[in-house]
Chains A and B, each alone.
Chain A
Amino acid sequence: MNKKREYEDRELQAAFSSLRRLKAPERAVRRLSERLKREQQGHDRRKRSAVPLLRIRRQVLIAVFATLLIAVPLTFGVTKRFTAGKAPSRTYVVRFIYEDEKARSVHLVGDFNSWRSNEVVLERVGDSKLWSVELTLEEGLYKYGFLVNGTYIVSDPFSGLKVKDSQGNESSLMVLAGVQGNGGSL
């Protein structure tokens, strides 16, 4: 069988060699070689990127996961705690004293407690006519007064700073601030 095949191949070759060889058109050859080149390059590229692509996908997944891990708590929970607030300021301990023998109750109202009437109660000092309370307040300027018997607000008789509103109501003014600097120009 093999001998027969070899014989047939030899005969075929002899038959082909007698045929006239035609020259292929240049353009066709060029196009064919370019196509072959492209196919070869595409094959090479696919071969090159297969392994890094897997690596990038893993890195991307890690990056996405890390981002979600940070951003989601910030979105729904931690944001409140980390919202920028006022800068910390100095605090002062202040004692308020009101003198009234006949008063039944005395409350302190002012900017520091939104003028709420039932928050800060002055206590009578023993059997005296003095009422007193101590508060810790932040640095600032505050208007305040004493609400006597739950009915009327008076300014602090011991304070020299008084401000009036357009209706003539008088409040006391308290300035809580340190003096900066030691001598020198203002």
Chain B
Amino acid sequence: MKPSGAIIALIVVLAVPMLAAAGTAKKGEDALRAVEEVYAYGGSDEEGVRTLARTASAAIQSGVSAEEIEVFIREAARTHRSPKEVAAYIEIASTLHSEGVPPGLVFDAGLEGFARGVLETEMRRSIDALQSRLFFCRTIARRHTGRGKEVGSAGDMLIRALCYTMNMGLTEDEIAALGAAAENSGLDERAFFNVLRTSMELIGLGMDPGRVSALMVRAISNGVGVQEVVGLPAFVQAERENGFTDDDIYKGLLGKIDEAAAGGKHPSGDGNGIGTPGAGSAGRGGTSGGGTSAGGNPGGRK
């Protein structure tokens, strides 16, 4: 081997294990910090704390965020939850993570349950159900993220949107139909997210989830534009204020969708800025960001 080749080989041989060790050292540090958090638990359930420490450490080593685990354990300790219970939730989060599902929803659900003082039996049932739902949502989301196993940050939002849309009343079949329509139309994850957001807003306005699902499938299949779709909730609100019934509104929506698909008049018909994010929520007052797209002023990119 030439001398220059030997030097390059030496650099690689020395540097690669060092950098690998650096990564492992950091993970080890994170695991240690989480375990310290665990031992701050106190109490007499030593076996439970040991189980929790093992589970937290394993979860961090497998890639779950150490920060999220620390926060989770700290809040659990503050609200006097049993270490074994907390370990069970962390294990679920770890399983989800290994299957390509961001575990944040499980942690959020757990933290909310801690804050509300939900009983352990109820919470376990609820989080088990959430786990099944998340696997289903991941299957739907994967068709739009184009990444195979991993779901990125935009995919995380898509999975959350799927999950909450189901929580608000859409069934698995309806979600699957929406997903299939979106896939056939070649929607990317952001576009599909917009569809789900609009679905949630329409349901929030009191529309029947089944009808909303049918509307959205029709809109997607007919290639309706994104601005037209996100403007539908404002149209519904305006029609309600004009005294129309839900049936009338539904027929009106179908008509608008068909019009938009045919490249006809703007669905709003009144040029009040439908399609501008948050325009529909401005009339509600109160929380400007609540429940809809950001009604507040975008703070710009970080």
Using a CB–CB distance below 8 Å, which chain A residues touch chain B? 52, 55-56, 59-60, 63-64, 66-68, 70-72, 74-76, 79-80, 83, 86-97, 99, 109, 111, 114-117, 136-137, 139-141, 143, 147, 153, 156-167, 169, 171-186
Contacts and interface: CB of A to CB of B under 8 A. Distances in A.
B227 A115 contact: no
B23 interface: yes
Interface extent on B, as a size class? Answer: 35 or more
Given A56-B3, A140-B157, A175-B291, A162 B296 contact: no
Main secondary structure of the interface of B (DSSP, over half): helix
B153 A181 contact: no
Q: Which of B6, B164, B277, B296 has the most CB of A within 10 A?
A: B296
B157 A93 contact: no
A156 B14 contact: no
Contacts of A158: 284-287, 290-291
Interface stretch (B54-62, B88-96, B108-116, B241-249): B108-116
Interface of B: 3, 6-7, 10-11, 14-15, 18-19, 21-23, 25-26, 71-72, 75, 108-109, 111-116, 118, 122, 125-126, 129, 153, 157, 160-161, 164, 167-168, 182, 185, 187, 190-195, 197, 200-201, 204-205, 219-220, 223-230, 275, 277, 284-302
Interface residues of chain A: helix, strand, loop or mixed (majority) = mixed
Contacts of B118: 165, 167, 169
Nearest to B202: A160
B290 A172 contact: yes
A182 B273 CA distance: 13
A136 B299 contact: yes
